[in-house]
Amino acid sequence: MQKNEINLTGRHAIVTGAAQGIGFAVASRLLASGATIALWDRDAEELAAAKNRLAYPASVSTHAVDVTVAAAIVEAAAAVNELRGGIDILVANAGIAGPNHKLWEYPHEEWLKVVEINLIGVYNCCRAVVPHMVEKKYGRIVNVASIAGKEGNPNASAYSASKAGVIALTKSLGKETANLNIAVNCITPAAARTRIFDQMSQEHIDYMLAKIPRGRFLEVDEVSSMVAWLVSEENSFTTGAVFDISGGRATY
């Protein structure tokens, strides 16, 4: 598939959950568009392997951080800001699916873990990065939610609730930064066949596929194409919005 050119030359981006899957695809696309990239993920070895798979290694830095640890995220954001002389772009992608259970059978600690990573993690990243964007009077943020946050998937109450929270957080933050030249939007992808599937039952995977009118799972490069425009300077008006990429599944 031929990609439209997006010019991100001179822009400095952070991508969370960047060692694989959607995060890696987004990082690769932004790098190809001219941005420098800070890869954030929990696994230092996977980060190093991811960097080795990317072109232009001088434009890539790696930071082994847990998005649930607020102090570590503040420190990592400050390190990127110092290294690159600013932060222009944040793609808050890090997340987990969690196990599949009925809500009343869902293990309490697992439910909290999903919300902590998927929602509180996005909050921590936005909270740490926005002040640097305010100082620069420019910023583009894309939070990765999910179609599950719109519709609510059965046997995935923690995931669905956390992604619904990401949508609401995006709308609130987008209004708070609207007059600061900082655009904050989110995307609601359908399922993409990445390693997150390892956390799901086959029954749940089959359910998700059956709900997609396109009749297939999302490709990670399709996500990165949408994100590339959303984090570009061309996206100069839209903020606090939700961009569907669900293959026709979304009803609103």
**Sequence spans of domains, the chain:** 12-238
pLDDT tens for each residue of 166-222: 999 999 999 999 999 999 999 999 877 776 666 667 888 888 788 888 888 888 999
Whether the predicted pLDDT of 224 surpasses 90: yes
Of the listed ranges 11-25, 46-60, 192-206, the least confidently predicted one is 192-206
pLDDT of residue 199: 64
> Number of helices and strands (H, E) in the chain?
9, 7
d(CA 28, CA 154): 33
12-238: what CATH class? alpha beta
Q: What's the rounded mean pLDDT across residues 98-114?
A: 97
d(CA 88, CA 111): 33
Mean pLDDT of the chain: 94
Rounded alpha-carbon distances, angstroms, from residue 75 to 8, 86, 164: 25, 14, 28
Rounded alpha-carbon distances, angstroms, from residue 98 to 27, 64, 117: 24, 21, 10
pLDDT tens for each residue of 58-91: 999 999 999 999 999 999 999 999 999 999 999 9
138 catalytic? Reply is no
**The Cα angle at residue 229 between residues 196 and 186, in degrees rounded to 5:** 50
> Which residue among the candidates 56, 106, 123, 159 is catalytic per the annotation?
159
DSSP state of 192: B
DSSP state of 65: -
Rounded alpha-carbon distances, angstroms, from residue 19 to 50, 74, 161, 162: 5, 20, 25, 22
